Amino acid sequence: MRQPMTSLLIIDPQYDFYDVPVNEQFTLDSEHQEKTIAPALPVPGSWNDSQRLASFIEKQQQSIHSIVVTLDSHNEYDIAHAIYWQNKSGEHPAPFTLISHQDIADGIWLPTKPELLEHVLAYTQSLEQAGKYSLIIWPTHCVMGSAGHKVVAPIQAAIQRWEQQTNTQHISISKGENPHTEHYGGCEAEYPLADDKNTQFDPQLVELVKQNDHVFISGQALSHCVASTVEQMVEKLSSEEIKKLTILIDTTSPVAGFEQQAEAFIDKMSQIGVNILTSSNL
pLDDT in tens, 122-176: 999 999 999 999 999 999 999 999 989 999 999 999 999 999 999 999 999 999 9
Give the Å distances, CA to CA, from 69 to 77, 80, 268: 24, 22, 24
Angle between helices 153-166 and 46-59 (to 10 degrees): 10
Residues 145, 44: one domain? yes
CATH code of residue 259: 3.40.50.850
Residues 145, 53: one domain? yes
For residue 270, tell me if it sits in a domain: yes
Residue 145 lies in domain: 6-76+141-281
For residue 1, tell me if it sits in a domain: no
pTM over 0.85: yes
Last residue of a domain, one of 114, 136, 158: 136
For residue 69, tell me if it sits in a domain: yes
pLDDT for res 26: 60
pLDDT for res 3: 79
Last residue of a domain, one of 90, 108, 136: 136
Stated as kind and residue range, the H or E segment containing 135 is strand 135-136
pLDDT for res 21: 87
For residue 153, tell me if it sits in a domain: yes
Is there a contact between 158 and 57 (Cβ–Cβ < 8 Å)? yes
pLDDT for res 171: 98
pLDDT for res 173: 97
pLDDT for res 22: 73
For residue 37, tell me if it sits in a domain: yes
Other CB atoms within 10 A of residue 15 CB: 24
Residues 260, 206: one domain? yes
Residues 169, 251: one domain? yes
Residues 52, 173: one domain? yes
More reliable by pLDDT, 65 or 31: 65
* Residue-wise pLDDT tens digits, 186-221: 999 999 999 999 999 999 999 999 999 999 999 999
- For the chain, the domain total comes to 2
pLDDT for residue 183 is more than 90: yes
Maximum mean pLDDT: which of 15-24, 25-34, 88-97: 88-97
Is there a contact between 109 and 103 (Cβ–Cβ < 8 Å)? yes
pLDDT for res 32: 58
CA distance 101 to 123: 8
Mean pLDDT of 250-254: 98
Task: Specify the amino acid at residue 19.
Answer: D
Q: Where are the alpha helices (DSSP H) in the chain?
A: 46-59, 101-105, 117-130, 153-166, 204-211, 227-234, 239-242, 259-272
Mean pLDDT of 235-248: 98
pLDDT for res 282: 76
The CA-to-CA distance between both ends of the chain, in Å, stands at: 22
CA distance 99 to 137: 8
pLDDT for residue 67 is more than 80: yes
* Residue-wise pLDDT tens digits, 96-128: 999 999 999 999 999 999 999 999 999 999 999
Mean pLDDT of 59-68: 96
Min mean pLDDT across 2-6, 8-12, 275-279 is at 2-6
Residues 28, 156: one domain? yes
- What average pLDDT does the chain have? 95
Is there a contact between 220 and 249 (Cβ–Cβ < 8 Å)? no
Length of the chain measured in residues? 282
CA distance 238 to 108: 44
Residues 159, 101: one domain? no
Is there a contact between 269 and 230 (Cβ–Cβ < 8 Å)? yes
Residues near 59 by Cβ (< 8 Å), separated by ≥ 6?
none
Q: Concatenated DSSP letters for 237-275?
A: S-HHHHTTEEEEGGG--PPTT-HHHHHHHHHHHHHHT-E
Residues 112, 229: one domain? no
Residues near 122 by Cβ (< 8 Å), separated by ≥ 6?
none
